[in-house]
Amino acid sequence: MLSLSDHRAARLAALTAPDGWLNLVARIDLAPGRHLVGAGQEVRLSSGPDLLGTLDLSEAGATFARPGEAPQPFQPVPDAFPQLRVDPFLLEIHTVDGSPALRVRDLTLRPTATLRHFPDAPAWTIRARWEKIEAQPTEITMKDGSKAEVSLTHRASFLHDGQAFTLTPTHWKSGKPMFVFRDRTAGETYPACRFLFGEDPDDREITLDFNRAISPPCAFTDFAVCPLPPPGNILPFRIEAGELAP
C-alpha cells in the first residue's frame, strides 16, 4: 500500500492527467447509429473543427472516422470506458445502465488542482471485519437522478464509539472494493458523497483508511455521473479524515 503522501500525489496526478476529470468539456447522450461530430454538427462540440468526423455506435462497439480516413475502433481501457484519441480531443464512450454517451476531453487544456484535507488522523485507519455475502442485485441512485444496477457481494463492519456499523461496497476498481459513503462532515466534504477504496483484504479483515477518502468525479465536473451512497452507507457521525470539498 502506498504511503499517504504518495497516495495523494498519485491522486493529484490522476486528476490532472489527459484522461483525468479536469479537462472534460462535454458529455452527450447518444443513440445507436451514425453521428456527425464537430462544432457545427448534430453532435455539437464547443470547439474544434466544424466536422471532426463520423462516429458509428452499435452493440458491437464504436468507431470514429476523420473526414477522408478509415474508421478507427475505440480501444478498451482497464477500469474505464473505451477511448480513442482524435486530436485535439480524447473521446470516450461512457455507458451507464445501458445508455451510452460521448464524453469529450480537451487535450489542449492543462488543468491544475489544489486538494485540501483534514489533518492526518491515525485513529481513522481501521482494520474492519470483511465478509463475503450472497450476491444481492441492487438498484442505486446516481447523482443525476438516474438508476444503475449493481451486485452487492461483500460488507465491512467496524465499531465506532462502541456501536457497530457496516459499509457495503457497490463498485470495484483495480480489484479493490469501492465504498460510496456520506457522513456528518458533508458540506465541509463534498455534500453528495465520498469514495473510499478498501486495502489489504484477507478472508476475514480489510483496512478502511478514511485518510484516503476522496471526493467523487462529480465534485470536479458536471460531465461525470456519480453514484450516491446506498442507505446503509450514510453514517450518523463525523469522519474528520480524508479530502475536503474541492
pLDDT of residue 21: 96
Asked if the model's pLDDT at residue 98 lies above 90, the reply is no
For residue 10, how far is the Cα from the chain centroid? Answer: 15
pLDDT of residue 3: 94
pLDDT of residue 215: 98
Residue 2 CA to residue 114 CA, distance in Å, equals: 20
Please state whether 143 falls in left (phi above 0), alpha (psi between -120 and 50) or beta: alpha
Dump pLDDT digits (tens) for 114-125. 999 999 999 999
Burial readout 113-150 (b: 16 or more C-beta within 10 A, e: otherwise) = eeeebbeeeeebbeebebeeeeeeeeebeebeeeebeb
How much of the chain, in percent, has pLDDT values that exceed 70? 100
Contacts of 122 (CB under 8 A, 6+ apart): none
Which residue spans within 66-124 are E strands per DSSP? 72-73, 83-86, 89-96, 99-106
pLDDT of residue 102: 97
Residue 165 CA to residue 82 CA, distance in Å, equals: 37
pLDDT of residue 79: 87
- Span 32-52, mean pLDDT? 96
Residue 206 CA to residue 24 CA, distance in Å, equals: 34
pLDDT of residue 10: 96
pLDDT of residue 1: 83
Give the single-character DSSP code of 186: B
Q: Looking at the whole model, is its pTM more than 0.95?
A: no
Asked if the model's pLDDT at residue 189 lies above 90, the reply is yes
pLDDT of residue 73: 98
Contact 86, 93 (CB under 8 A): no
- Span 11-40, mean pLDDT? 96
- Span 173-185, mean pLDDT? 97
Amino acid occupying residue 198 = G
Strand-pair category, 24-29 with 194-197: unpaired
Residue with cell 484522461: 19
Closest C-alpha to 27, from 222, 228, 226? 222
Asked if the model's pLDDT at residue 156 lies above 90, the reply is yes
Asked if the model's pLDDT at residue 144 lies above 90, the reply is no
Asked if the model's pLDDT at residue 57 lies above 90, the reply is yes
Asked if the model's pLDDT at residue 243 lies above 90, the reply is yes
Residue 245 CA to residue 36 CA, distance in Å, equals: 38
Closest C-alpha to 153, from 167, 164, 169? 169
Q: Which three-class secondary structure state does DSSP give residue 232?
A: helix
Dump pLDDT digits (tens) for 59-86. 899 999 999 999 999 999 998 999 999 9
Average predicted confidence (pLDDT) for the chain: 96
